Each structure stands twice: as structure tokens, then as C-alpha cells.
Amino acid sequence: MARGKKDGGAQPLLHRAARIEDAINAWRERRGRRRGLITTIIPYSGYGAPGWARLLCRVVLSRGAAAPTRAEKVRGWRSFFSIPVDDEVIATIGGIEHRVHPDRSGIVDVVVDADLAPGWNTIILRTADTDPVTAGIFVVDPDAAFGIISDVDDTVMVTALPRPFLAAWNTFVLDEHARTPVAGMAVLYDRLSSANPGAPIIYLSTGAWNVAPTLSRFMSRNLYPRGPLLLTDWGPTHDRIFRSGQEHKRTSLERIAREFPTTKWLLIGDDGQHDPELYREFATAHPENVAAVAIRNLSPGEAVLAGGRNTDAADAVSGVPWISAPDGAGLYEKLAAAGLVRD
């Protein structure tokens, strides 16, 4: 059965912007169903440990018999105009069915009881009216002592996110073919994964779930190791007009520390936003869960356009190795020099 769901008590009062958004989505759903759109599940990779699994997917309306494939391939601004629905999702894991429900954004993010072997597993997702789709679940081995948590924007993919106009162009217009990988980062991650078989890798981003398929295709095309994406809702939340990317990363890191208390994580980010600050905060609170912090330095041009660098990396946490370099090759050399990886 599903765990981690809200109690049956009173639900929090929604922010006015969220209530307006819900009313608009309800109208769009009625109109879409009259036009023949059908319920579609967009599967996302999840993770877990022996005994439980975190399921992630989104439920929207789409058109035609190939709706699941079409919905996953939607690019650019169109992905932000999908119609979310709250149809019940039936997840089959090891022959056992779990019935779960999306939130107001169509996102399913629940923990269920599951008995899966360590490594990648395949589960089946469907609704009462849809054909089944599959999703991956990475189950972390209880003996895994090392893992990687990586930022996405300007860490694995050049996005210049702090620049409002270019960020909008990258998010709403460009597809994965037009995005540029950060030099050497895919090789770095592959070498780290090869040196630590079975190590989990989690990509933690402030991006919206709407772009998850695009990001997954980008990372696959550029040979990044497979791993779950942890993204955020797009639009108003229950208590504010805009989501907080920093809070999303902060709470996600805390959750991972609780879920995997014996794993030490290599935290990888860049110095153009808040990664050094957030990683230092996490390392101070959980030094036993941090193997090292690796920060990718933005180029001078990127730093100028991003409004400068975050220089907090100089205030590293005592006992936690803290390195920085402009690309994946430089980070690997420094990790190897510090004895954190086998060269």
C-alpha cells in the first residue's frame, strides 16, 4: 500500500493563484475530454531500497492511440500547456497492485511497499482507461556506501539559467538537440559510476517536471549515466505564487539523508547559483553523509551573465573535501588527487 500520504484531516487552504489555476485546469479538462483527448501517463524513473519504492509519474490528457509516446516527446513551450488530471494510477510492482493518486498538478510522487532487487527494476503503470506503460525504479543496495547527487543546470547542461530571457528560450523553445553539455561531465560521471558499481546517481534540479522527458533524452543522448530526476511543480503551490527552487533542493537533500543514512554522497553543482550555499548547509548538518563537494566553476563569460559567482565555496565544512574546477576533467583530477576516486 502507499505510504507517506497526507492524513485525513483538513487540507491546507490553497493560495488564490492556485485556486485560479485549478479552476482553469478543470475547464480545460472538460473541454479536452469533449475534444477526444485521453488520459496519458508520462513515466519518470524512481528510486528505492529493499522494502520500498518511490514512484514518480505525471498524468495528463493527450490525443490518439500513440498518446503516451506523443506526450513524452512534447518539447519546448508545449510541455507547459499539458492538461493535468487526477485519474487514479494503478502501479504493478512484482505482481502486486498499488493504487495511487496524482496531486493537483497531475504528479504522482508516493512511496509504496515493494520487494525489489538492488539495481534497476521495471514497474508497470496504468489507469482504468489506458494501456500500461513502464517505468524504471533504481533500488539502492543496503551495502552501497557511495552515491552521487548532481545539479543539472550549468552542471551537466549549459543553460545560463540566471539570465531570464535566455532561460526562457532554453526552457520553452529549444529541444535537447540544441542544448550543450558541460565539457567532460558525462565522462566524469561514467568514470565515477564504473569505479563504484551499483552506486546510485540522482539528478536534483530546480526545473519543472514538464521538462523531465526533454532532460532525460538530453542525458541519454550525451551518455550521462541513468538516474532518477527530482524536479519541481510548475506554477503556484498551495501557499505561494511561485515555487522555491532552493527549498526544493534543501528538502530533497534532507529526505535523501533520511532515506539512506549510511550512504556518503558526492555532491556536484556549480558556482553560478546556490549550490555551494546549499551543499555547505547540508554538509554542516550531515557530515557523515557527504563524501565530498565538487563545484564546477562557470567561465568568466558565464559568470558575468549569471550575475557573478558564489564565492561561499571558500568556507568549506571542516572534514568534508571541497574541490572546484571549470569542467569534468579538472574535477576528476582533483578528486583523484584527494584520493576520493581511483585513477
Number of domains the chain is built from: 2
135 shares its domain with 156: no
According to the 3-state scheme, what is the secondary structure of 258-274? Answer: HHCCCCEEEEEEECCCC
170 shares its domain with 279: yes
Residue the block writes with cell 514518480: 56
Residue 18 pLDDT grade (very low, low, confident, very high; cuts 50, 70, 90): low
Residue 7 pLDDT grade (very low, low, confident, very high; cuts 50, 70, 90): very low
128 shares its domain with 153: no
pLDDT exceeds 80 at position 308? no
User: What integer pLDDT is reported at residue 36 of this predicted model?
Assistant: 84
Residue 104 pLDDT grade (very low, low, confident, very high; cuts 50, 70, 90): confident
Residue the block writes with cell 518511490: 54
Task: Look at residue 119 and tell me if it is in a domain.
Answer: yes
Residue 146 pLDDT grade (very low, low, confident, very high; cuts 50, 70, 90): very high
- As given in the structure block, the three cell numbers for residue 220 are 541519454
Residue 298 pLDDT grade (very low, low, confident, very high; cuts 50, 70, 90): confident
The model's pTM is 0.85
User: What integer pLDDT is reported at residue 256 of this predicted model?
Assistant: 98
Q: Are 103 and 25 in contact (CB under 8 A)?
A: no
Residue 21 φ then ψ, to 5°: -60, -40
The residue count of the chain comes to 343
Direct distance between the N- and C-terminal alpha carbons of the chain, in angstroms, rounded to an integer: 45
pLDDT exceeds 70 at position 91? yes
d(CA 90, CA 87): 10
Q: Are 86 and 39 in contact (CB under 8 A)?
A: no
Query: Which residues, other chains included, contact 252 with Cβ-Cβ below 8 Å and sequence gap of 6+?
Result: 204, 230
pLDDT exceeds 90 at position 206? no
Mean pLDDT across 273-278: 88
pLDDT exceeds 60 at position 164? no
Task: Look at residue 45 and tell me if it is in a domain.
Answer: yes
Residue span of the structural domain in which 96 resides: 2-139
13 shares its domain with 78: yes
Residue 109 φ then ψ, to 5°: -145, 90
